[in-house]
Chain A
Amino acid sequence: MSLDPATVRRIARLARIHVDPAEAEQLAGEMNGILGWIEQLNEVDVDGIDPLTGAAQMAMRLRADTVTDGGIPELVLGNAPDRAGAFYAVPKVVE
């Protein structure tokens, strides 16, 4: 598997990261290095082994359905760059 600069630019766009064309070339090389290293893992035979979703062989904890949080609009809005009353205000996004 190998990434070309066009794929790198697409990934960057999906992640909303600005990448200069020259940078894309260099990043493609770096990312190919990482992918090549990970591809070595494909050589390990994992037939019949369940996928590992975490290092700890534990299941998720579940909590009771009670209201224990919220009611702090001033705190959640505290860091907002812009607000209108109790709403966050952001540059207009319309379909």
Chain B
Amino acid sequence: MSYVIKGQDGPWELVIGLEVHAQVISRSKLFSGSATEFGAEPNSQVSFVDAAFPGMLPVINQECVAQAVRTGLGLDAQINLVSRFDRKNYFYADLPAGYQISQYAHPVVGGGHVEIELSDGSTRRIGVTRLHLEQDAGKSLHDQHPTKSYIDLNRSGIALMEIVSEPDLRTPEEAGAYLRKLRTILRYLGTCDGNMEEGSMRADVNVSVRRHGEPFRTRCEVKNVNSVRFVMQAIEAEAARQVEVWESGGTVEQETRLFDPARGETRSMRSKEDAHDYRYFPDPDLLPLVLDEAWVAGLRAELPELPDAKRARFVAKHGLSAYDAAVLVADQETAAFYETVAAGRDAKLAANWMMGDFFAALNRTGRSIGDSPVSAAALGQLLDLLADRTINGRIAKEVFEAMVETGEAPASIVENRGLRQVTDTGAIDRAVDSVLAANPDKLAEYRGGKDKLFGFFVGQVMKAMAGKGNPALVNDALRQRLSA
């Protein structure tokens, strides 16, 4: 871990921990039967429970518990068969009850871990302290009226998983890799859509700095950061601020801060000075949550293959590099696409095509793997045409571009455009003869010892054959004629 902030008198290391709030995928809310769908008319998905009418009692949604347990299993974490809900007390206009039902002392999921991959090819294991279930708050709109805030409680009571990491992260890159990996795992499990733009995944970032070998110093919490890039920027900005405070003889105060992406700096949320005094106590409306071991085992048995396992399989079964495998498993749809292309074919070649021309085409056309202009089956057919030598590698790229443009099948593009590779040695020999005849000076130079000109002749012959010559046969024919 060589990332440090260079101070005036020596380097500083970073200590980072993340609290991720992930919205649970479920049809109805954590403690009420209202719908969770995004984008509904204001206050149309609100029950008396969500609006905290007096006397309303919460009843927990079994699927939300299952989603938390699945996520815990996906993080290789301890599942607590007995857990409990507490009230976290604070006042805000979009929290009608004046408290959030959360799990403080006894979360449903205990310690686990996430394996992250870094750009230098190394991996690190990041500890997960806990995962607990809690209610989301409503949404406030502050920009609709000069003196009023508007409140929509549709989000109020939707289940969240708060996933807390150990302070194991040491660089902005690691924090970014952790968030991306966590998002991948949640998406594989189908427990959260991981959409940070819509707010279904948000991060609170704890940052402190220290001299190498020191114990932890005071941390600050940067609240509600809503993209991977902003998390990385917020860490850099906050760490730089703290180094400046310490080096100028000051003391970092533990506080809650906000990241301002436009200015690239964090600022204090002074209004939240009492924010950490939540006066938690067990919610008297709710009995302990007790899970049956067999039910948990059933959930475990139904887990999908997770990214780490899939990556290991791609390396072992398909002979891919760890890097290629990591790129292909980052998204479940991409991995499935790849497996369709690679089935029964040269798996390494399939990976190269996906990560080269295919991803480039998606980028260029602004499409995603879900609405790709070229299907997995069609890309596979193209590889078949390469494998049975109907076309050569250069023509394959041309055919692929035509597939992106027209959506036609590769075989019909090859037929209609006459791109079939020429393996007729008579035709190749004729092309070689005419090229040599047209370039007597180059031929003389080559014979005089300028070996590098071989490539020039190959190029000329291929050009004469409109790119369709079989490269191996062209090489053979040339080598034979030139050494004659």
Residues of chain A touching chain B, judged by Cβ–Cβ distance below 8 Å, are: 13-14, 16, 53-54, 56, 58-73, 75-77, 82, 84-95
Contact = CB atoms under 8 A, between A and B. Distances in A.
Given A53-B288, A58-B287, A60-B60, A67 B149 contact: no
A66 B28 contact: yes
B62 A63 contact: yes
Chain B at the A interface: SS class: loop
Contacts of B27: 65-67
A53 B140 CA distance: 34
Interface string B24-39: 0011100011110000
Given A14-B274, A70-B34, A73-B41, A84 B150 contact: yes
A86 B279 CA distance: 33
Interface residues on B, range: 35 or more
A54 B35 CA distance: 30
A45 B41 CA distance: 55
B288 to A, nearest CB: 5
B261 interface: no
A71 B45 contact: yes
Contact of B271 (A62, A67, A87, A95): A95
A95 B269 contact: yes
A63 B153 CA distance: 22
B293 to A, nearest CB: 13
Interface stretch (B46-54, B170-178, B229-237): B46-54
B417 interface: no
Contact of A14 (B140, B149, B277): B277
B91 interface: yes
A59 B287 contact: yes
Interface string B47-90: 11111010000011111110000000000000000001000010
B91 A53 contact: no
Given A66-B28, A70-B45, A84 B63 contact: no
A38 to B, nearest CB: 13
Given A62-B60, A63-B33, A71-B45, A76 B271 contact: no
A73 B288 CA distance: 32
A72 B47 CA distance: 7
Given A59-B287, A70-B44, A84 B144 contact: yes
B282 interface: yes
Contact of A90 (B32, B42, B151): B151
B141 interface: yes
Interface string B149-182: 1111100000000000000000000000000000
Contact of B43 (A58, A61, A76): A76
